[in-house]
């Protein structure tokens, strides 16, 4: 990691000597440490900087760490920043439950163990980098769609949203995608093996035939995920979100590949295009639509 890619960490403690102790343990060429001596100061800093992680002392005057975290988690722009609470209270169950209830991701107990501190911080920074890398891939997939040549792109973007233009087909895609989310969840939790990629490939091809756009893919994903979230616990929802993000990326990439193939072969019909000429969507389990060559 280069100097220009430093990750910001916010340290919050009302005692300067505690901040300095944390800073000494965490000083590193790829970390940019920013300090606050109160909850109010921390609330201002999270709106100014992009933080990968916050280490927040619990016992502070005026506004304690739990109150500060609750306010951060209540703001749309800061609610996703992971917070590690720093506290000397390690044997009170209610104290720990309160921390997790206001959105804390973990605890570090005083007196600090330097190795545990560094390990926990490293894990959260690696998760932050993975999240950023995944978002970059998603942006690249969307950008690839935007570079598609003339008429094919015009046809895609000129279509109404699938949810409105073909609600029955949309609901069927949501159902199939939701089933894949369940399989992906099962695969993650019980180490089962399912051929999820093959079904995602089939879905992306059918969406391609229907000239679906990225917004349709995202809408299918978000609708299916919302249905799972309405029925799940916090732990299961997190797994669905993580697995769904990977599935969305793969589905978007498949759709990009489909349209690239379609546009590159447009002037010279391939055997595959001749096969699908006049194909009825009933053959694909989708009613009411027909491909026109």
How does pLDDT run across 186-217, given as a tens digit for each residue? 888 887 788 899 999 999 889 888 888 777 88
DSSP assignment, residue 94?
Answer: H
Superfamily of domain 3-125: Response regulator (3.40.50.2300)
Q: Are 150 and 264 spatial neighbours (Cβ–Cβ below 8 Å)?
A: no
Check pLDDT > 60 for residue 162.
yes
Q: What is the pLDDT of residues 51-93, one digit of tens each?
A: 999 999 999 998 999 999 999 988 878 888 999 999 988 778 8
Element (H, E) at 172: helix 167-190
pLDDT score for 257: 83
pLDDT band, very low/low/confident/very high, at 2 (cuts 50, 70, 90): very low
Q: How far apart are CA 160 and CA 96, in angstroms?
A: 50
7's enclosing H/E stretch is strand 7-12
- 3-class SS letters over 112-142: CCHHHHHHHHHHHHHHHHHHHHHHHHHHHHH
Predicted local confidence at residue 149, as pLDDT: 44
Q: How, if at all, do strands 31-36 and 7-12 pair?
A: parallel
Please indicate whether residue 244 or residue 287 has the higher confidence score (pLDDT).
244
HSE toward the beta carbon, residue 292, CA cutoff 13 A: 2
Question: How far is the C-alpha of 62 from the C-alpha of 42, rounded, in Å?
Answer: 13
Asked whether the bond before 111 is cis by omega within 30 degrees of 0, the reply is: yes
What does the DSSP assignment read for 214-265?
Answer: HHHHHHHHHHHHHHHHHHS-HHHHHHHHHHHHHHHHHHHHHHHHHHHHHHHT
β-pair type (51-57, 31-36): unpaired
Instruction: With beta carbons less than 8 A apart as the criterion, state whether 10 and 54 touch.
Output: yes
pTM above 0.95, yes or no: no
Tokens of 151: 């008429």
- Structure tokens belonging to residue 9: 């960490």
Per-residue pLDDT, averaged over 129-155, amounts to 59
CB 212 within 8 Å of CB 292: no
Domains of the chain, residue spans: 3-125, 148-284
Q: In what order do the strands lie in the sheet with 106-109?
A: 31-36, 7-12, 51-57, 83-87, 106-109
At 230, is the pLDDT very low, low, confident or very high (cuts 50, 70, 90)? confident
DSSP at 210 = T
């Amino acid at each position: 990691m280069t100097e220009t890619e430093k990750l910001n960490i916010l340290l919050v403690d009302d005692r300067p000597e505690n901040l300095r102790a944390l800073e000494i343990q965490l000083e590193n060429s790829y970390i940019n440490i920013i300090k606050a001596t109160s909850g109010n100061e921390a609330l201002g800093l999270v709106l100014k900087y992009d933080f990968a992680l916050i280490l927040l002392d619990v016992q502070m005057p005026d506004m304690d760490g739990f109150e500060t975290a609750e306010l951060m988690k209540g703001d749309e722009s800061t609610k996703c920043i992971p917070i590690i609470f720093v506290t000397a209270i390690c044997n009170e169950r209610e104290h720990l439950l309160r921390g997790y209830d206001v959105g804390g991701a973990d605890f570090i107990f005083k007196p600090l163990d330097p190795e545990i501190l560094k390990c926990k911080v490293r894990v959260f920074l690696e998760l932050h980098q993975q999240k950023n890398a995944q978002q970059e891939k998603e942006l690249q997939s969307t950008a690839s769609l935007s570079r598609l040549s003339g008429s094919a792109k015009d046809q895609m973007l000129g279509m109404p949203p699938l949810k409105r233009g073909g609600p029955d087909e949309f609901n069927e895609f949501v159902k199939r995608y939701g089933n894949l989310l369940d399989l992906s969840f099962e695969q993650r939790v019980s180490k089962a093996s399912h051929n999820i990629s093959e079904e995602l490939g089939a879905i992306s091809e059918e969406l391609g035939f229907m000239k679906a756009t990225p917004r349709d893919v995202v809408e299918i994903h978000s609708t299916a995920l919302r249905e799972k979230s309405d029925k799940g616990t916090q732990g299961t929802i997190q797994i669905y979100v993580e697995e769904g993000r990977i599935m969305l990326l793969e589905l978007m990439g498949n759709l990009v590949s489909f349209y690239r193939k379609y546009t590159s072969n447009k002037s010279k019909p391939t055997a595959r295009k001749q096969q699908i000429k006049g194909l009825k969507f009933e053959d694909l389990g989708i009613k009411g639509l027909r491909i026109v060559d």
